[in-house]
Structure 1
Amino acid sequence: MDIIKDIKTSQVWTLMADETTDRANREQMTIVVRYLGKKQDGEGLIVKEDPVGVMDAFPEIRSAVGISKAEEEVRMTGSNIAAVLVKKTSELALDTNTLVAQCYDGAAAMSSQRVGVVANIKDVAPMADYYHCAMHGLNLATSRVVAVPVIRNAQDIMSSTITFVTDGAKREDLLTKIVATKGAKGKLIKLCTLL
């Protein structure tokens, strides 16, 4: 895999992870690595960010921690989540000596300097300082802003308009042709649902 090769040749890299429950009620964990890579022209460096894993957290924790009994409770503790992250980075043969940062949300299981993922990763990568995920803060702020009636109403109007255009093949085809005549590229996409 070229991404793993690029990470291995990088001087430094950052481990980022987050988990969320999907529609099938599974706890999905995403692992992303931020690292220094060469620009396409080969001149200079650029910060790259690539996913290296998406997994069902509970079976991964069972495997990483060694929980063999199906009836035994799987807990989303800092040490259990860290065990999954360490296992994954080990499987990818990533050098923890060049791991210089960790980036997670502010949940105690992730960010606790004593018992969270941060503390457990520090045991295997002492240079990996913790940084709170800025995007998580943005997501929280965005979810709160829809409480403002004017913003909520504007979002509802945009959502209804986008749905009207994209749920009709003829309307979407017409929009695509109009956009093409203006020399623009892209497609009208539906808005993310905010809490």
Structure 2
Amino acid sequence: MAELVIRNLGMQPYQETWEAMKAFTASRDKDTPDELWCLEHPPVYTQGQAGKAEHILAPGDIPVIQVDRGGQVTYHGPGQLVVYLMVDLPRAGVGVRTMVDIIEQGIVTVLAELGVTAAPRADAPGVYVDGAKIASLGLRVKRGCSFHGLALNVAMDMAPFLRINPCGYANMPMCQVTDFAPGVSVADLAERLSGALAASLKGDPVIRTDGWQALADS
């Protein structure tokens, strides 16, 4: 079983995290262990490669960053669990579609443990509870290696979602874990979800709590 590094990074700025993901992916080789980064971001809107400006309705003082993942605009903020998956897909024996399935089913499984019934949708990537979106997905693959990942709404201010068309869907209802399982924390969900993803990827998890500088040094 290959080593899989799980980094619990806490609150991290979006731009620097994105640059670190790109640098990690560009510098890795066939022996570099895969990594999952669990973190939160300060308030930011990110616009995917196919993103259309009309889906950003009224960003106000929240910055908008154009990024290289798939998908349209989404919101990140405190109280949302973000997991970035740096995975060598050929080495893991999975394609992009299977990777998306692994992420979605990992979220579904973890929410089921909390008594929350969730499911993906064939027509709109992500995970939903009673028609409301609880988690968003967006991946980029370069040289066979994935980066970017998922955002699971846990216990956050949901108002900024009203200032965009989330993932390009007007009037898309949004929800979060604490709507159904009060008291659950981002840290709890990070532990549960990273464990579920590691198991699906058949990785031997190595937990690291070292901070931002470790990313530049790794």
- Normalization by structure 2: what TM-score? 0.27
- Normalization by structure 1: what TM-score? 0.30
Structure number with greater Rg is 1
Structure number having the greater helix percentage: 1
Structure number having the greater strand percentage: 2
Higher relative CO (Cα under 8 Å, sequence separation at least 6) belongs to 2
